[in-house]
Each structure stands twice: as C-alpha cells, then as structure tokens.
Amino acid sequence: DKTGTLTRSEMTLERVVTASGATAVTGVGYAPDGRVEHRGAELAAGPLREEQIVVLSGGSLAGNAGLREAADGLWEIQGDPTEAAFLVAEAKLGLTQRRERRFERVAELPFTSERKMMSSIERDHEHGDQLVLIAKGAPDVLLRHCTQARVGMAVVALDEARRAHILAEVDRLSDAALRTLAVAYRPLAEGEDPAAAPERELIFAGTVGILDPPREGVAAAIREARRAGIRVLMITGDHPRTAARIAADLGLAAAGAQALSGSQLDALDDAAFARAVAETTVFARVAPAHKLRIVAALQAAGNIVAMTGDGVNDAPALKAADIGIAMGITGTEVSKEAARMILADDNFATIVEAVREGRVIFDDIRKFLRYLLSSNIGEVLTVFLGAVGAGVIGLRTPDHAVVVPLLATQILWINLVTDSGPALALGIDPATDDVMARPPRRLTERTIDARMWLGALEIGAVMAVATLGTIDYYLPGGLLEGDSELGTARTAGFTVLVFAQLFNCLNARSQTLSAFSHLFTNRWLWGSIALAVLLQVAVVHLGFMNLAFGTVPLSPAQWAVCAAMGSSVLWFSELRKGLQRASRRGPGPAQP
C-alpha cells in the first residue's frame, strides 16, 4: 500500500533547512495560522529569512495546488496536498500576495515518477521580466542537477562538503518521519527558449520536512490485517528513511528495519527479486515499473494481491493486481478507470473493515447453505426411509399398501415455513466467530466442501430418524407399539420435522461453535422462529387448516413429545461440535 493510502491527506510543512540554519513552522493543517520560527522566536530579517523566502515561494511556484478559505471559515485546497503544504507555510511567512504579484508562469516541466521532480518557468516582474526556472523534487535527485547553492543573498559553489551536509540534513528529517522535498532554481540566459530550458546547473535553495501523520486507527487496522493473515506492504516514492520510520511508527515494520529502494531493486535478478519481495515490507523511491514487478512477483508466489493507488503512474499496477483499489478523493480518473474498486474515504482502515465484512457475508452464505442442505436432506430422507421402512414402523394398511409418512401439502408447508424466514435471517446473521482470527481461504477451497456435505447428511439423518421415530411411537405396530390413529401420528411427525428444522437454525450458525454461543444476537432469526412456531400451531389447531393439510389437533403432552424429539437435532449437533473441538490440537478460530 502506498504511504498516501495509510495516511491522511492534510499534510503540514514543519521544517525548513537552508544553508544558514533551520526553522520550524508552527500550526497544523491547511489554515495559515502559525509562524516560521528560529530557535523559538519569530524569524527575523537576515540571511536565513532570505533563504527561507526562496524555498517557500519557490516550492509554491513549482506546483499547481490552490488554497482558499471556504464560506464556513474552513480552509480547503485544490490539487496535491504536498504542494498545498508549501502554500500554507508561505502564507505563515506572509509572502503569498507578493509572490503572486511578482511572478507569472510561462511554461511547466511536469512531475514524473521517473524524474521525481517538476519545474516551472516564471517571469519575474521585479527583475526586468527575467525568466527563471524553479524546480521542486526529491532532495537526492535534485542535488544531482545542482552546481551551486544559495547562501543568504549570495550564490556559492556546491562542493562535496556542502552536498554531504545537505544529505545529512535530509537523513535527519527522514528519521523524524518527515517527507522531504528540495527546491532549486536557475535564472535563464537572455534569449534562452523557456520551452526547452534544461534542468541543469541549478542553484540549490534548501530542503523542507513535511509531516504526513497517520490517520487515527491505521496502526490498529494493520494489526487486524496481520491477525487475519493479510500481509501489508508499503510501496512509496518517499525517501527510504522516511518510509522506514513511518512503517515502524505504524507497526508495519520492526524498528530499525530498512526500506528497499528502487535502485536496489534494479540490481536484482528475477530470483533475488522474488526473495526480496517475499522478505521485505517497505519499498521506497520506486517507479511504476517496480510496482508492476512487485505485483507480478507476489502473484507468482501464489498470493492474491490488492494494490492501492491514486496517480496516473499507479494505473498499470492497479490493472495487474487481482484487486486494484483507487482512491476516491485524491485518485485520478485514470487510476479509477484502471481499478476494480474505489475507496471512497481514502482510508486504509476501511479496506480492513471491508475484509471483515466480506468474511462475515461469506460465512452467512455458508450458514444459509448449511441450513438448507441439511433441512432438505432431512425431508428427502424422511420420505425415502418412511417408504422403504414402512413395514418396520407400521406405515402399512391392512392390505399391505404403503402409507407415506408426510403428505405433499405438509412438505410444501415445511418448505414455506422453515425455508423462508429462518433461512433469510441466517443470511444476515451477525458474526458468531472471530472472523479476523482465521487465515484467508485457499483458492482451491470450495464453498460447499466435503465437511459441509457430511454434516448436512448427518443432521438430515437425525431429522429423519426423529420424525419417523415419532410416527412409530404413536402408530400401532412397528418397533414401538402405539395406540393413536394415522392422522395423529402423521401430524406429530410433521410437527417434529418442523421443530427439528427450527432447532437446526441454531446449529447452522457455526460449524464448530456451540449453538448457545452468541445465542440472542440475531433478533431476526428469533422472530422468524417464533413466527414459524405460531404458524405450526395454527396449522395443527385451526379447523380449515386441518382440512387443507391433513392434520389433527395435538394435546399438550403430544406437543411436548414433538418439541423433545425435534430438539434431538440440537443435542446431536452439540455433541458433534464438542468432539470436533476436543480433537483439535490447539486453540484456533472457529469455522463458519
């Protein structure tokens, strides 16, 4: 994931380092409330202030962001948050209006991830409309284009000692988890074509450190993702030290861990690259080609890759990833077109929450299927075994004709009452298990696997045995000698099968957890069960329904027998789940 995905977009320019020293910029956010300080006091006139003016105004000129105060008094930006940070800091120094009057843009050399810098050509109205090239970019990259440095109002040669000092300051800013950018410039020679002005022999002005603090909850989201077996990577264009420090602060990488840079990746062959991707968490100063290659390496290792991005240069990697996720707020139209989904709030924690919600939904699908499979298998086995074993349980007429255990209308009623409300309620069941404590599913794992089929057959068989056993209990003859007529026995068996399926609702909520765990968290399920019981009472005791469904009224004692026989499904399932939990070798997450 890119640093921009893990952090909020309201960046704040905090430090400015130039040849004469360093300053701190107070205030947070886009409101220009604060000041530029040196050693705790407001920055006074002198060489340091002159250098700071060049850096802050130059960084504002070499950008395309806008800053304005909205009608509600809040300040808002248009464009890149990093560029907007320069505008805010410049306003705190009181330079904005002067800069806008003084300079007029003539041309622009846009930023690319390969160059890691951008430049604008400005006409300076205070110096005879002279053209000046102003560049902003990664300090280590920009330094390679510089031959001189700004010191106060003077320009001096950029020797090796001064270069080393600048890079050391960049490292210090990066170690403080600040994103670093540098500013340089060059007055164009008279008659030099601004459209073809080369970015060379620049005058280095200074470096800024921009705070991009993590969103609240991102560190917790990363921990939750890891608990769910999801590996989170940071792929960013930031300085390697900045990326490593941010990753350490978020708990993404261990303190002291090093980020792997794009230049280091270029030096690796395919085998070494694959090992590096498998072992490294943070990648910095990367180009689009590196992102694409990292995605390919992860996929080659059998991973499902979700890639986030917001820029045009992220589009190839977003397209290649199994799940490309574009930023909804800061993302470009190109990135959104290349992605499979758009993250509306640009918040990494939302991705982790979506994973959790997806697992809950998948679990609910399996609960729904487990319930319907086992219940319908129970109905099929009841009719089949009742017909095959009719003589054993007394379902034969005196002339040896087979009597079906359930009427067709009764089977239709069971499907109407138990396969509608309770089944739909299972489809919106809250999580009964810790879904983020289990690893991701394997690609080869089926939604209905052998374990689910076996469980459905076992539960269906118990339903059939309980139903046919109840019929046998009331009918004369068979294994158990009863004294009731066929109508009573069939009504009792019919009721047992309904009750068994209602008890099965509770079983189906988890494959391993007890039905008594989180028992009352699904009010819709309990409402549908209560409604089904009332309807069953109605079909048994209302005269016109007796006629339609071939039922007869039952006594309270007979209702108690039906409820007890129907609950056998619950007790069998509890015993089965208990044995499964006991057979597991160690603690682990329950299965949906």
Closest CA to 467 of 549, 545, 404: 404
Looking at this protein, which amino acid is placed at residue 252?
A: L
CA distance 84 to 91: 11
| Residue 400 burial (C-beta neighbours within 10 Å; 0-12, 13-18, 19+) | exposed
CA distance 266 to 262: 6
Bridge partners of residue 186, in order along the sequence: 133
The answer to whether the beta carbons of residues 504 and 569 sit under 8 Å apart is yes
The secondary structure of 450-481 as a DSSP string is HHHHHHHHHHHHHHHHHHHHHHHHHSSSSSS-
Give the residue carrying structure tokens 């269906």.
460
Please list the active-site residues: 1
Angle at 178 between CA 38 and CA 260, to 5 degrees: 145
Bridge partners of residue 204, in order along the sequence: 149, 184
CA distance 494 to 414: 8
Residues 6+ apart with CB under 8 A from 447: 362, 365, 366, 369
Find the radius of gyration of the CA atoms of the chain.
36
Q: Which two tokens stand for residue 436?
A: 């983020």
CA distance 68 to 66: 7
CA distance 410 to 494: 7
CA distance 104 to 123: 5
Bridge partners of residue 323, in order along the sequence: 306
